[in-house]
Amino acid sequence: MFRSSGPGIDPSRPVYVISVAAEIVAVHPRTLRIYEEAGLICPSRTESNIRLFSENDLRRILWIRHLTQDLGVNLAGIKLLFQLEERLGERILERLYEEGNKKSERAVAAAREGGRR
Amino acid sequence: MFRSSGPGIDPSRPVYVISVAAEIVAVHPRTLRIYEEAGLICPSRTESNIRLFSENDLRRILWIRHLTQDLGVNLAGIKLLFQLEERLGERILERLYEEGNKKSERAVAAAREGGRR
DNA sequence: AGAACCCTATCAATGGTGTTGTCAAGGGTG
DNA sequence: CACCCTTGACAACACCATTGATAGGGTTCT
């Protein structure tokens, strides 16, 4: 499903520093920090406290983007949805809104292509 | 659970006109019309097109109030949550946030007491 | 060492949302 | 007839989401 899910590549591995992550998902770094403050994402940190985002983090960000930009849900609503997801087992929201997710994944793939040029 | 769930009283029976319903749940009538426009509530109508709210409608409104006022979720988010509830079977959200609901029910009971004076 | 990035924290501008409020013009009912 | 209901529009107010800039300080790489 994910371009980078090939052999030897772990989608949960933290690799992108905030400026790179922000460029890939086409969002201001400030916004990513706000998402983290709101408890919506939780990127890893290096020993020297620098945020590192994984592919899974990017996917989560694009999912948040879909909810806010396309559906108009605010951050409080997204937080509630994520809490629901935790309690009801993994991929319920995503199963329900697969089209949105596929869109997100295409966007990631495209963005990563673009970021690589 | 509901004071009015006694014998002979149907919580799904449409009885309250908008001004009465608004007074009971302590919300402006304008707000209730906006909730309906947003697809969050669907009160019955008389033959002459006048809205009639049931006890269940009031409970739903107080649930919406809890989500917006206490949790800060916006109407788009609530709509999504309601869609989830529909697809995942009845009272999932309410089971998760029982304290909020009990609060809502106490509020309804109190409001109806007050409205009766 | 210096450039370029990261960190936190703060302030501000912009556009959008939620809620209440009011006005108008018209219909139903005591 | 008075009063409440209807829809539709407009406005005010406060708050939120996003982007942007700034300051002071740390990390990484060349």
Read off the pLDDT of each residue in B89-103 and give the average, rounded to a whole number.
Answer: 55
Strands B44-45 and A51-53, by their bridges, are unpaired
Query: Would you list the domain boundaries of chain A?
Result: 16-116
- Does A91 contact B at CB distance below 8 Å? no
B17 touches strand D (CB under 7 A): yes
Q: Would the pLDDT of B22 be above 90?
A: yes
Which of A62-71, A107-116, B28-37, B78-87 is predicted with the least confidence, judged by mean pLDDT?
A107-116
- Span A82-100, pLDDT tens digits: 988 887 775 566 655 554 4
Amino acid at B22: A
Read off the pLDDT of each residue in A44-73 and give the average, rounded to a whole number.
Answer: 95
Assign B56 a pLDDT band (cuts: 50, 70, 90): very high
**What percent of chain A lies above the pLDDT cut of 90?**
58
Count of alpha carbons within 13 Å of B37, Cβ hemisphere only? 6
User: Which CATH code for domain A16-116?
Assistant: 1.10.1660.10
Is the CATH number 1.10.1660.10 carried by domain B18-110? yes
Which of A10-14, A104-108, B40-44 is predicted with the least confidence, judged by mean pLDDT?
A104-108
Assign B11 a pLDDT band (cuts: 50, 70, 90): confident
Cβ separation B71–A76 shorter than 8 A: yes
Question: With contacts defined as CB-CB under 8 Å, which chain A residues touch B81?
Answer: 77, 80-81, 84
